[in-house]
Amino acid sequence: MKIAIVTGGSNGIGKAAALELGRRGISVILTYNSYKDRAEAVVKEIEKNKGVRAVALKLDLTERSTFDSFAQMIKLSLKEIWDRTTFDYLVNNGGVGGPCSISEMSEEYFDKVMNTNYKGTIFLTKQLTPFIVDGGSIVNMTSSSKSQSFPGYSVYGSLKAALSVWTRYAAKEFAPRKIRVNAVSPGPTHTNFGDGVMDKHPEFLKPLAEQTAFGRIGSPDDLGKVIANLLSDDFGWVTAQDIEVSGGHLL
Ligand SMILES: NC(=O)c1ccc[n+]([C@@H]2O[C@H](COP(=O)([O-])OP(=O)(O)OC[C@H]3O[C@@H](n4cnc5c(N)ncnc54)[C@H](OP(=O)(O)O)[C@@H]3O)[C@@H](O)[C@H]2O)c1
């Protein structure tokens, strides 16, 4: 039985990835930051798959001082639920965003995006890789915004670009353990991202859809399937790649 850890599995793309992994017979440790109830609903859904177990743990990627105790909780869950000391897959998905122009940007905004999407993701990976099996796999969530320049996404996009570069370095450093490290760059995807900016501004949806080759915005499931496939052995010869999953955004 394979085991995956999915950060930010309580919502959006992380939830879709966790559900898809469950459908493929993979057990899941998913994390939430604010919404324990949503995370527990995902756990229940995953456990409808025969023989598959799931558990939800609290993780705030901005609170690095809690990573030691988070790792202890992981060790405990692995032992108690699966009688294991290792897991197979890590999906670094948890993240925040939302537009903010350079002229209006506060240090607080910068630190929040930086500490969640970049620093937190990197230090969590450092903390957890000792427990990933040799031959395991990591997927980092970057963003198509890393190669675009929509006003308001300068910090978000540049930090996702940094995470994309970091993915390559991590792939090299973990290669001796045959751990593959890749990234997925979603294009516009209909989730609660940016405090529900897409639902608050439905007028953005049509123009965004028209920017994609396939004429629609991505769904969380579009991403969940790619993440599950990329983690799997079918992609065993693929490492250090960042794959855009956007239906051809701005093609
Ligand atoms: N949606 C898009 O268009 C899009 C495009 C490009 C890239 N992405 C990337 O895809 C990933 C998932 O985004 P999404 O669209 O699915 O957004 P979402 O629906 O807002 O979900 C974000 C997830 O991250 C968790 N999270 C938020 N702050 C956190 C923190 N401080 N520590 C740990 N976890 C935290 C949330 O947990 P709680 O809900 O429990 O607080 C939630 O589970 C992100 O990395 C995002 O940058 C999204």
140 lines ligand 1 (CB under 6 A): no
- For residue 13, how far is its CA from the centre of ligand 1 (angstroms)? 7
For 94, 103, 118, 229, the CA distances from 167, given in Å and listed in that order, are 16, 30, 11, 18
**Mean pLDDT within 87-99:** 97
Model pLDDT for residues 215-229, shown as the tens digit of each residue: 999 999 999 999 999
Instruction: Write down the pLDDT at residue 56.
Output: 98
What kind of architecture, by CATH, is found in domain 3-245? 3-Layer(aba) Sandwich (3.40)
**Mean pLDDT within 234-249:** 98
Smallest CA separation from ligand 1 atom 25, residue: 8
Q: What is the DSSP letter of 176?
A: G
Looking from the CA of residue 15, the nearest atom of ligand 1 is 43
Q: How many CB atoms lie within 10 A of CB 118?
A: 19
- Name the residue ranges covered by the structural domains of the chain: 3-245
Label residue 231 by pLDDT band (50, 70, 90).
Answer: very high
14 lines ligand 1 (CB under 6 A): yes
Looking from the CA of residue 11, the nearest atom of ligand 1 is 43
Model pLDDT for residues 114-145, shown as the tens digit of each residue: 999 999 999 999 999 999 999 999 999 999 99
189 lines ligand 1 (CB under 6 A): yes
Model pLDDT for residues 174-216, shown as the tens digit of each residue: 999 999 999 999 999 999 998 888 999 999 899 999 999 999 9
Instruction: Write down the pLDDT at residue 34.
Output: 97
Model pLDDT for residues 20-36, shown as the tens digit of each residue: 999 999 999 999 999 99
Tell me the angle at which helices 121-128 and 154-174 cross, rounded to the nearest 10 degrees.
Answer: 20
59 lines ligand 1 (CB under 6 A): yes
74, pLDDT greater than 90: yes
Average pLDDT, the chain: 97
**Mean pLDDT within 31-57:** 98
On whether the CB atoms of residues 192 and 35 are closer than 8 A, the answer is no
Which H helix or E strand runs over 27? Answer: strand 27-32
- Of 250, 233, 212, which Cα lies nearest the Cα of 2? 233
89 in catalytic set: no
- For residue 147, how far is its CA from the centre of ligand 1 (angstroms)? 19
The percent of residues above 90 in pLDDT, for the chain, comes to 96
Instruction: Write down the pLDDT at residue 195.
Output: 86
The percent of residues above 70 in pLDDT, for the chain, comes to 100
Instruction: Write down the pLDDT at residue 154.
Output: 97
Smallest CA separation from ligand 1 atom 35, residue: 94
